[in-house]
Every structure is written in structure tokens, then in C-alpha cells.
Amino acid sequence: MKVTLEIPDNCAGRFQEVAQARGLTVEEWLVELGDRHASAPPTCPPPDHRVTSVAELSKLIESKFKNDKGTTVLYRGHGAASFKLIPKVGRLRPPKKSARKDVNEALMLDLFRNQVADRQDVPAVNDWELLAIAQHHGMPTRLLDWTRNPLVALYFSVCKECETRDPDGHPLCEDAEVLAWRTGKVNLGNALPKWGPLKTASTIRYIPRIVTPRLRAQSGLFTVHAYPSRVFEPDRGLMRIRVPFENRRDLKRSLYRHGIHEAAMFPDLDGLARHIEWLQTDIY
């Protein structure tokens, strides 16, 4: 079966570049992509809802995702709808010279602990907090980020122009996704397991102290995964909200008008600098 795809307006330049690099016309490249699309199995689970504006998301939240007496709703944003719920450390491999089959998380946490003391605003009191700080500053961990704020999740789904690339390294025009997970409320008085986050026997939710300003700004919390290389699939309550690729830029600007932007999400000098760059240049 032959399938010819159409080019989104904001991807025309990129399609032209890729076609030229392959020695094809744009039309020939579209036909080739269509053939791949027709023969390849679906890579994204079907969405439960679709939004193209902040107003549509807000209406959906008010109608479907209000908290009730026994449950709450957590949100997470992905720049690619094909993203699987696997913590970052589970998606990486150790150095080639290593005899291990997985990344040495304990060593990474020890290295972080030994070098973070003079860089912390709020010292971590245990490995749970230390891992949360490391996660928020980009170190691969067995944590997955979630938020109580759906607009924060939407921001992280559209903050980058693209999230995935084809085998040749070219960006893909893939839809984004916001996950809404209805789950039981957590008793903040419950003690965390004494053996620490790297030896947990099951996936648990972790609501840390505000050990970094980013946690407060992002209304953040985590799931901690016993098997970080496995896909996390909640038993129930997970809804997928698709964000079409062609609406990403407009949504990012709309979120800025609602006070959700890089400097607000990352209330430090790095976040401020990136936000000013976005305001004053033609980057995405």
C-alpha cells in the first residue's frame, strides 16, 4: 500500500534539507516516509484525548480530572508521544570498558554526594533527598518526574521543538503528550523505607521536602522504580492527552502568557538566561 504524507507548514524547511541530503525530491522523500508509515507497527499508544490550546486542556481538567476524597491526579509531559515510562538510568548503558550490564547507580550517587556539599542551598538529610536533587539537575536516576500542575506538564511536553530523531539523526515532527494519572493519595506521615531508594522492592511515590527551588516551581514529586529498565505501566487510571506537533510553538507562547516559562520552571540563573534568550532571539 502506498501512503503519501503531507508536510506540516513549520516542517517544510527540514523536509527539504533531509530530501536533498538523500538525493531525493521532497515528493520522493514523502512517498518513502509514507511507505515506512504504512509498513511499521504503531509506536504510540492511542490517545484518550487531544488538545490544541491551554483552554482545551483546562476544560478537560475541570471535566475529567478533579481530585476526589480518595484519589489525586498527577501529570507528566513528554515531548514525544512514543516515549515509554522508563527512568533515565534505565535507558542508558555503562561505559564500554565496564563489565556491568547496567549503570552503577550506587557509584554515581556516591560521587554526587562527595562533590555536592558546597553547591547545595538545602543540604539533603538522606539518600532519598540526595537522589531528588540529582534528578532535578540532570543526573540519570531511577526516578520519574511528575507534577500536580497540568500546565507544568504541558510546558515540558512543548518546551523543545522536537524530542526524537530518525536513524540519520534528523529531528522528527512527532506529537507530544501529557499523561494524567489518577492514583490513591499518599499519607505524608508514612516513613520512607530505611534501606534507601536504590533498594526499594516496588514502585513507590515519593514527595520530598523542597530541597531545591525547582521542586516548588514545578509542583514536583516522583515515582521511584524498583526495576528502572522496565516500562512503568500503572494498573489503572492513566490517561493520554495528545498534543499535535503543529500546535507546539503556539502552546509554548500561550503558556508564557499564563506565567509558565523557562525562568519560572527553573528559578535560577541558568533558567533566567535561557528564558531571556528565548524572548530576545528567534529560537524555538
What is the domain partition of the chain in residue ranges?
A: 1-41, 44-280
Q: Vertex 219, ends 202 and 273: CA angle to 5°?
A: 120
pTM: 0.84
- pLDDT by residue for the chain (284 residues), tens only, comes to 444 455 555 566 666 766 676 677 867 666 665 554 444 444 688 899 999 999 999 999 999 999 899 999 999 999 999 999 999 999 999 999 999 999 999 999 999 999 998 998 889 999 999 999 999 999 999 999 999 999 999 999 999 999 888 777 778 889 999 999 999 998 877 889 999 999 999 999 999 999 999 999 999 999 999 999 999 999 899 999 999 999 999 999 999 999 999 999 999 999 999 999 999 999 99
DSSP alpha helices (H): ranges in 40-161?
Answer: 54-64, 88-91, 105-116, 127-136, 150-158
| CA atoms of 218 and 195, how far apart (whole Å) | 28
Closest to 268 measured CA to CA, from 207, 217, 210:
217
Other C-beta atoms closer than 10 Å to the C-beta of 32 total 15
Q: Is the Cβ–Cβ distance between 92 and 101 less than 8 Å? A: no
Q: What is the DSSP letter of 114?
A: H
